[in-house]
Structure 1
Amino acid sequence: MLASLALLVAIAPADPLAQGFVSPPKSALPHTWWHWMNGNVTKEGITADLEAMKQVGIGGAQMFTVDQGIPAGPAGYMGPKWRELTTHAIKEAGRLGIELCLHNCAGWSSSGGPWIKPEDAMQVLAWSEAKIQGPQRFSDLLPQPKAPQVYAKVDYTRDIAVYAFRTPEKDTPRPTDFLARTGVVRGDGLKPDFSGAASPIGDTIDLTDKLDKDGRLTWDAPAGNWTILRMGHVPTGKNNHPAPPEGDGLEVDKLSKEALDKHWNGMMAKVIADAGPLAGKVLNNGLIDSYEVGGQNWTPKFRQEFQRLRGYDPMPYLPVVAGFTVGSKETSERFLWDFRRTIADLFAANYFGHFGELCHRAGLQFSVEPYGNGGFDNLQSGSTADIPMGEFWVNGMAMETI
């Protein structure tokens, strides 16, 4: 009897689930963060790290270069030594059967570097106001547009439009959540409300063609009290972080495919070229990690993109973003919804989605943590990735991202 039972156990088919735990497939092996600390990297150290990973069953690593107050080492980010060591890491990982994923810039947030010029950086709407009384021929320099919030001042301003409208009789303060309503900062759960002074759309005059290259407006103002609104855009001044000095620079415009192409060519394309035939095999993943660089609400092609996505011209309503009500509170609130929806759509398509397209063209997958303090839709943005990721901390932080 006992012999028969033993024979049955011996010939019973193995449980696939149990067998998977005994010998996990490569797809189930854990991956780890692999931080290169401010250029303190050597070939010997790289090989030792990777061999240790192999020994304990780690199947892959996400590569970062970060600066967290550690004295600089000899391998400056994106310099010849760093690129040589990165190629060495890819070759050694290939030898050991370990997959590598590369973060798209120095630091862990988000997408920037010294190759990003101010015109390709994250942009935010800015404006200035001038009060005049007509009738008169007004000819004077208008104040430079200023943004309601930036991280750091960058010497770069571009005009968008100049408007004139009859000054509202009552100067109503902007709502306390004004920055969220206009896409400067992330706003969750906003309820419809816009309690500004009304400026009927019929009374708004476009004076853009009367502003010269020096910022001087010449206009024959009709009788009455007029507000002149000069609107432009400036960089948010946010840099990638925590990055060593040689990898530190402005964050790229998240709403522009053209700007993201320049960022890709500044870093990822070079490392992929260095990897040669190992790109797509060993180095097989590109990463946008933690999004901690804030919002933006403009890009040079915003008008065209808004018209394409929403079906009407945003320009007559742009004073709403400066705190004025155009037409009615309801009309202005509907415009702000469309404005924020357009920002979120462009984040998803032109930043997260386009980065994924660039990865795929190079034979890489795309991983992303699709959440943070930007004006995007987490699920919409996460849907663009091959591997959407979350996080949780031992103290309970960020459990909602899983």
Structure 2
Amino acid sequence: MAQTRAAANSPSLKEVVKAFATPPDDARPMVRWWWFGPSVEKKQLEREILDMKAGGFGGFEIQAVYPMELDDEAKGTHNYPYLSKQFLEHVSFANDKARANKLRVDITLGSGWPYGGPHVTVGDAAGRLRVAVIELPAGNESFALPAIMNGEKLLASFVADGTPKQLDSSKLQLFEPQLLATKSGRAGVKAAVADRVVVCYIASRTGQQVKRAALGAEGFVLDHLSRNAIDHHLKTVAEPLLKAFGKNPPYAVFSDSLEAYGTDWTDDFLAEFQRRRGYDLKPHLPKIESGIGADAAAIRRDWALTQTELANERYLVPVNQWAKAHGTRFRSQTYGEPAVTMSSNKLVDLPEGEGYQFRQFSFTRWATSAGHLYGRSVISAETWTWLHSPAFSATPLDMKVEADRMLLQGVNQFVGHGWPYTPPGTLEPGYAFYAAAVFNTHLPWWNVMPDVNGYLQRMSYLMRQGKPANQVAVFLPTDDVYATLSLGKVSVSAEMGKYVTPELSAQVLDAGHNIDYVDAESIMELGINYPVLILPHVTRLAPAVIAKLNDYVRAGGKIIAVGSKPSLAPGYLNAARISAEVQTASDALFANQDKVSLVSSDSAVGAALKAAVPADMELSAEKENIGFIRRQLTDSDVYFIANTSNRDVTANAAFRSKYKTAYWWNPYDGKISNADVKPTLRLAPYESRVLVLTDTPQNAQQEAKLADATTVVDLSRDWKVQFSEKPQAVNMSSLRSWTEDEATRYFSGIASYTKDLELSAAQLKDSRLTLDFGPGTPLEVTPKVPSGMRAMLDSPVREAAVVFVNGQRAGSVWKPPYQLDISKLLRAGNNRLEIQVANLGLNALAGHALPDYRLLSARYGQRFVPQDTHLIQAQPAGILGAVKLIGAKLQ
């Protein structure tokens, strides 16, 4: 069935089992380490590096951003300019300390984003096509030329009858204005009785400045379509950065998402367009602007395609080559503006996504699909970017909820957003990036961070093993998207969701499949290695691609087209002839009705898919709530399964697998137990599990089948509670939130709950005894906060707890089900329970006035605005549910 996707390593199950129990360090999550100012000092850098390691992070990405405070000798605050000697010394120091502690180091090739800075001249700044409209009343034959400023060039002028409000752009005629005087700034056109409009097209600059720049890194965003601009940036910024690493280069250099807003041009665009597309674009500039005319969409397609080619050849390829030449790798978020495509990811060593949108088009699946196609075994995602705003509101469950959606899309390396460097003595809870969650030791619930990261590490390792095994590919109609793009809005990824709609995605997922994307470029290079290909509303498709589709169908593949058959040439040149070829080839393809079907709408895809191929995971219920992804080993199928909802779900599951034996692999502790091949899934809110189907016997425990659990002891009353940094313990007769007491309303930290428990030998015999904190409380309405993720569930333990029994650590509680098996640590007679409960840093933040950045902004300009500060208020804290020791006799 066509060609094979680029092969990944395909180990046997025996090879994977041992590493699953103790996964390698390179699978640990990383963090983006914000250096504000940059104002850092070596002692604190080393302290934070050691903290990262202790918390289970595997490394960091250095990102220098805006100052947070003014220089202050008394406080030791000094904002060192970006690329200064002091800054580069700190980079070198951080690299040495990280390597000594076996942590990975990445660095952004610039400050803030996108690439740019003071070294970018106006001639190398991001380009755009500017339009100036001039009104020429009847009888007038001279007009003022538009002002051509630094970095600009007049490309072409057009004239037509009418006024600016009554202009038919299809009638604009190209003309050369007659200059009336060399220095007059006026030009002429033949007089006419009617009113006229002159439209001038000018190669200009967007003027965009680097976002969130560090001190000394301010300046224009560079032109990603200009090789000169890229080479100058590498020489001026990247070379000094890499020299700071000495003989130990970073693991990777990084580029954030392409957000060069409004860019659509570069200085030699007309010449490059002529060379690549075979015709002169200048006469067609009005069609690019207006989109009016029968061939305007085709011309827009050619214009946008040319930008992709330039971005690929002049930005992605040279930066990736430069990275290789310097002993490192290029990690790139290759989406946004300029108009890169999904297959542009093949030009970088380490593709990276962003976005938790599992059931709709996402930049994450855009990156993971490219990784699956082009053989990138490690695919990262910027994770937790907008997690539970405002800062310090995020919980460990919030982390898991978003991370699971990333795993379901194929991510196997987390880059947490992020870790704010915080100087000693900063008022708690410390620094925060203007729009992000915080994951450092200033979090009270840092006590469970190793447990959270242990889960993410184990799953990241497992999702790298074997081969991706999605059975359904959705075609990205890039040419159709190109044809819809307009001046200043040239982004393929931003518009693709209009074709790969949420309804289409849901139809595939609910039919029991996961999704990869393909595009015309990947099909031409790699063929198609999926049982089913979906074409969503595709109209523009090259005959060569249709020929590949015919090969795919002849080899056994099946196609489901939505809405229409391909009927148009992708571009402008020879469009009539090529469109006829497309229609003929398309008709021939769709004549094979056994393997090629056409459905009228997205809502019909699910039924067509069920008729085409068996489900990879068939569920009896809860299809919209339970997600999965499969990896294929040489002798096993590995399924990651997650409840993405905030309530308990139950469903019978059947799998498209040839294997006859199943095992549960616990992603939290690495233990293996027996499972049914067709299990009944009973998942708590946001619970996730790993099911392995194989014929290779495993050293597994029998998963206990427990009788109905009963309450052994109700522990809901009479706890002694000691707050950290508080001198006296308090007696809490009934469990309640700390915020109900004035003394602890704004307390952020850890409170230790202690209690003695008497048990008899009979109660311990043949029983599983579980500490049960009760269920969480589902939230029915999503709070009105900026786009982002949060768990729609309030925990009975706000927000995490570590449990000790008789002085020994029993485990942690931070996710549903809020239960912990403590059987092995209990003894007959007296037992001492200690539960160390941690809440949010938000409560401390709510207890004092927020910083006044007025003087900071006066000095440096307003480079940031803290997000959602109006939502800052103390949140419930402590153990809130009914705590019970429940027991069940082992059957």
Give 1 or 2: higher helix fraction: 1
Instruction: Give runs of aligned pairs for residues 2-13 of structure 1, distance below 5 A.
Output: none
- In the aligned structure 2, how far is the partner of 1:120 from the partner of 1:98? 36
Q: Name 1:271's counterpart in structure 2.
A: 241
Instruction: Give runs of aligned pairs for residues 54-203 of structure 1, distance below 5 A.
Output: 54-67=53-66, 69-71=68-70, 73-74=77-78, 75-107=80-112, 109-132=113-136, 138-144=141-147, 156-167=150-161, 171=165, 196-199=168-171
Q: What code does the residue aligned with 2:297 have?
A: E
- In the aligned structure 2, how far is the partner of 1:114 from the partner of 1:241? 13
The alignment partner of 1:161 has SS state of strand
Instruction: Give runs of aligned pairs for residues 289-304 of structure 1, distance below 5 A.
Output: 289-304=256-271
Alpha-carbon deviations, 1:360-387, whole Å to 9, x = none?
Answer: 2222211112234x24244133232211
- In the aligned structure 1, how far is the partner of 2:178 from the partner of 2:305? 29
- Seen in structure 2, the aligned counterparts of structure 1 residues 212 and 273 have a Cα distance that, compared at 3 Å, is farther
The alignment partner of 2:223 has SS state of coil
Is 2:117–2:221's contact at 8 Å kept on the other side of the alignment?
yes
| Length-normalised TM-score, structure 1 | 0.75
- In the aligned structure 1, how far is the partner of 2:164 from the partner of 2:93? 67
2:175 aligned with 1:206: yes
- In the aligned structure 2, how far is the partner of 1:44 from the partner of 1:211? 69
2:322 aligned with 1:318: no
Q: Name 1:344's counterpart in structure 2.
A: 308
The Cα of 1:41 is off from its aligned counterpart by 0.9
Q: Name 2:852's counterpart in structure 1.
A: none
Given the alignment, which residue of 366, 373, 380 partners 2:330?
366
2:179 aligned with 1:216: no
The Cα of 1:217 is off from its aligned counterpart by 4.8
Which range is displaced more, 92-101 or 258-267? 92-101
Alpha-carbon deviations, 1:64-99, whole Å to 9, x = none?
Answer: 112264445423321111111111112222322222
Is 1:165–1:205's contact at 8 Å kept on the other side of the alignment?
yes
Q: What code does the residue aligned with 1:382 have?
A: N
- In the aligned structure 1, how far is the partner of 2:177 from the partner of 2:345? 39
The Cα of 1:337 is off from its aligned counterpart by 1.9
Is 2:180–2:188's contact at 8 Å kept on the other side of the alignment?
no
The Cα of 1:54 is off from its aligned counterpart by 3.5
Is 1:287–1:366's contact at 8 Å kept on the other side of the alignment?
yes
Is 2:307–2:339's contact at 8 Å kept on the other side of the alignment?
yes
- Seen in structure 2, the aligned counterparts of structure 1 residues 251 and 397 have a Cα distance that, compared at 3 Å, is farther
Q: Name 1:151's counterpart in structure 2.
A: none
- In the aligned structure 2, how far is the partner of 1:90 from the partner of 1:112? 24
Alpha-carbon deviations, 1:86-125, whole Å to 9, x = none?
Answer: 1111222232222211112112x21111111111111111
The alignment partner of 1:383 has SS state of helix
2:202 aligned with 1:238: no
Q: Which has the higher contact order (CA 8 A, sep 6+)?
A: 1
- In the aligned structure 2, how far is the partner of 1:98 from the partner of 1:212? 67
The alignment partner of 1:390 has SS state of strand
- Seen in structure 2, the aligned counterparts of structure 1 residues 170 and 140 have a Cα distance that, compared at 3 Å, is closer
Instruction: Give runs of aligned pairs for residues 281-296 of structure 1, distance below 5 A.
Output: 283-296=250-263
Q: Name 1:189's counterpart in structure 2.
A: none
The alignment partner of 1:278 has SS state of coil
2:222 aligned with 1:228: no
Given the alignment, which residue of 322, 341, 346 partners 1:383?
346
The alignment partner of 2:220 has SS state of coil
- Seen in structure 2, the aligned counterparts of structure 1 residues 172 and 362 have a Cα distance that, compared at 3 Å, is farther
The Cα of 1:317 is off from its aligned counterpart by 1.0
Q: Name 2:679's counterpart in structure 1.
A: none
- Seen in structure 2, the aligned counterparts of structure 1 residues 14 and 210 have a Cα distance that, compared at 3 Å, is closer
Q: What code does the residue aligned with 2:152 have?
A: R
Is 2:169–2:286's contact at 8 Å kept on the other side of the alignment?
no
The Cα of 1:52 is off from its aligned counterpart by 3.0
Q: What code does the residue aligned with 2:50 have?
A: E
- Seen in structure 2, the aligned counterparts of structure 1 residues 168 and 345 have a Cα distance that, compared at 3 Å, is farther
Q: Name 1:21's counterpart in structure 2.
A: 20
The Cα of 1:170 is off from its aligned counterpart by 9.5
Alpha-carbon deviations, 1:331-371, whole Å to 9, x = none?
Answer: 22221221122223323332333322222222221111223
- Seen in structure 2, the aligned counterparts of structure 1 residues 223 and 172 have a Cα distance that, compared at 3 Å, is closer
Alpha-carbon deviations, 1:307-330, whole Å to 9, x = none?
Answer: 2332211111113344385xxx11
Gaps of 5+ in 2: 1-11, 72-76, 357-383, 389-400, 412-891
- In the aligned structure 2, how far is the partner of 1:341 from the partner of 1:314? 13
- Seen in structure 2, the aligned counterparts of structure 1 residues 69 and 167 have a Cα distance that, compared at 3 Å, is farther
Alpha-carbon deviations, 1:215-254, whole Å to 9, x = none?
Answer: 7354452655443322213221211221223212110012
Gaps of 5+ in 1: 1-12, 146-154, 174-195
Larger radius of gyration: 2
- In the aligned structure 2, how far is the partner of 1:127 from the partner of 1:212? 23
**Once superposed, what is the RMSD of the aligned Cα atoms?**
3.2
The Cα of 1:56 is off from its aligned counterpart by 4.4
- In the aligned structure 2, how far is the partner of 1:381 from the partner of 1:211? 48
Q: Name 1:47's counterpart in structure 2.
A: 46
The Cα of 1:30 is off from its aligned counterpart by 2.8
Is 1:135–1:220's contact at 8 Å kept on the other side of the alignment?
no
Which range is displaced more, 66-75 or 329-338? 66-75
The alignment partner of 2:198 has SS state of strand
Give 1 or 2: higher strand fraction: 2
The alignment partner of 1:347 has SS state of helix
Is 2:130–2:204's contact at 8 Å kept on the other side of the alignment?
yes
Is 2:33–2:63's contact at 8 Å kept on the other side of the alignment?
yes
- Seen in structure 2, the aligned counterparts of structure 1 residues 211 and 50 have a Cα distance that, compared at 3 Å, is farther
- Seen in structure 2, the aligned counterparts of structure 1 residues 262 and 135 have a Cα distance that, compared at 3 Å, is same
| Length-normalised TM-score, structure 2 | 0.36
The alignment partner of 2:296 has SS state of helix
- In the aligned structure 2, how far is the partner of 1:213 from the partner of 1:351? 39
- Seen in structure 2, the aligned counterparts of structure 1 residues 214 and 383 have a Cα distance that, compared at 3 Å, is farther
- Seen in structure 2, the aligned counterparts of structure 1 residues 211 and 83 have a Cα distance that, compared at 3 Å, is farther
Is 1:157–1:232's contact at 8 Å kept on the other side of the alignment?
no
Which range is displaced more, 207-216 or 352-361? 207-216
